[in-house]
Amino acid sequence: MADAVQTREAEQWGWEYRGRQVVVVEQQTPPVPAVPPPSVLATLEAKRATAARLRPVLTWVMVGAVVAAVVVAVVVQPLLGLVPLLVALGLAWMCWGRPEQLRRAAVKEHQLWLANCVSTMAGFERDVAAWQQDLHERERTKSLEVSAVRPWVPVGPVTKERVDLYGGTAAGWRAALLAMGSSLMSGGGRLVVLDLTQDSVAEPLQRLAEEHGAPIRAAVVPEHAGNPLTALTADEIGVVVAEGLRAAEPEQSESRGVDATLVQQVVECLTDAPVTFTRLNLAFQVLLRQLTPDQRGALTRSEYANLTDLLSESARRSAEARLFRLAAGVQPR
C-alpha cells in the first residue's frame, strides 16, 4: 500500500498522447444579397397594359367625336364643332400619346432599377469578402491556439491524498511504486509505504532515493514476531496508528496529526512492558474512564496512574470522540 502524505503540482507519473485538436470555427451567418424589388416598374407596366386594352374602345369613340364635330360645324355652327373636335384630340392622346409616355417612363425606371441592382451586388460582394476575411482571421487565431497546445500532456494523480491500485504482480507493483514515488518525492512530497506483499516492492524506490540523497527511515517487522510494534519508537507507533486510521477513514484525514500525538503520549506512558495493540486498547479505555484499577489487565499500576494523569478532565472531554476512534482502531481482532 502506497500512501502519499503530501502532493505537489510538480508530480508527474508519465505522459499521455491527446492528439491534435481539429480546428473548428463557428461560422457566422453569411451575407445574403438583397435585390431591390421593381415595384415602380411593375406599376408602370400595369398602367401600360391597361392603356393597351382601352385603345380599341377609345379609337372608336375618337372617330365618333370627329364625325360629330363635322356634323355640328356644317349643320349647326362652326364654332360649336370645336367642342367634339377637342374631345377627339384628347382621345387621340389617350390612344397613342399616353402609352408612349408610359413606355418611356418604364424604360427609364428599368435602367434605374438595373443600376440599383448593380450597386447592391457590389455591396454584397464587399460584405462577402469581409465575411470571408473575418472567417479566415478566426481560423488563423484558432489554429495558433491549437498549435500551442502540446499533444503530449503530463499524467499525475487523480486525487491529492490517496491512490488505490488493484491486482497486478510484484514486478508491476515495483514499477508503479517507483514511478509514483519518485515523482512525488521529486516534487518535495513525503511518502509512507507499508509493504505487506512479502516481495520487497519498495526496494527499487528505496535504492533510487538513497542514490539521490533523500532522507529515508525504514522499519522492518520480523517475519515471525508476534508484536508488529516491536522496535518502533513512540513517535513511529503514533504515525503507524494514525496512518492506519486515516486509510480506513479517509474523511478524517485532517485529524491525523492529532491522532499521532495522542498515540505517542499514550505510548510514552507504557514504560513497564513492550507496547502491543492489546495494551494500547486498554490504555485508551483507561483514558475514557472505562476501566477501574482492578480491571487494568495487562497494564501495571504505575502505567494506570500515568494514564489517568495524562489528560485533564476538560481535555479528556474535548478529545473523547477521538479517543473512542483510537480505541476501536487498535482493538485486537
Which cell numbers in the block locate residue 243? Answer: 496512518
Residue range 192-214, pLDDT digits in tens: 777 777 778 888 888 888 888 88
Contact 55, 95 (CB under 8 A): yes
pLDDT recorded at residue 9: 46
How far apart (Å, rounded) are the C-alpha atoms in residues 290 and 283?
10
- Tracing cell 377627339 back to the chain, one arrives at 88
In the 8-state DSSP scheme, what is residue 251? G
Of the pLDDT bands very low, low, confident and very high (cuts 50, 70, 90), residue 249 is low
Q: Which long-range contacts (CB under 8 A, 24 or more apart) does 241-248 make?
A: 241/280, 241/326, 241/329, 241/330, 243/3, 243/192, 243/194, 244/329, 245/325, 245/326, 245/329, 246/3, 247/1, 247/3, 247/162, 248/329
* Helix boundaries (H) for the chain: 39-71, 82-92, 98-148, 170-186, 203-211, 234-248, 256-269, 277-287, 301-308, 313-318, 320-329
Does this model's pTM top 0.85?
no
pLDDT recorded at residue 5: 37
Q: Is 39 exposed, middle or buried (0-12, 13-18, 19+ CB in 10 A)?
A: exposed
Contact 273, 300 (CB under 8 A): yes
Mean pLDDT on 2-9: 40
133 alpha carbon, distance to own chain's centre: 30
**Dihedral angle at the C-alpha atoms of 247, 252, 236, 190, nearest 10 degrees?**
70
pLDDT recorded at residue 2: 39
**Pairwise pLDDT comparison (152 vs 248), residue with the higher score:** 152
Percent of the chain with pLDDT over 90: 0
Spatial neighbors of 153 by CB under 8 A, at least 6 apart, are 15, 16, 18
**Pairwise pLDDT comparison (21 vs 317), residue with the higher score:** 317
Percent of the chain with pLDDT over 70: 79
∠269-273-274 over CA atoms, to 5°? 95
Query: Is pLDDT above 50 for 224?
Result: no
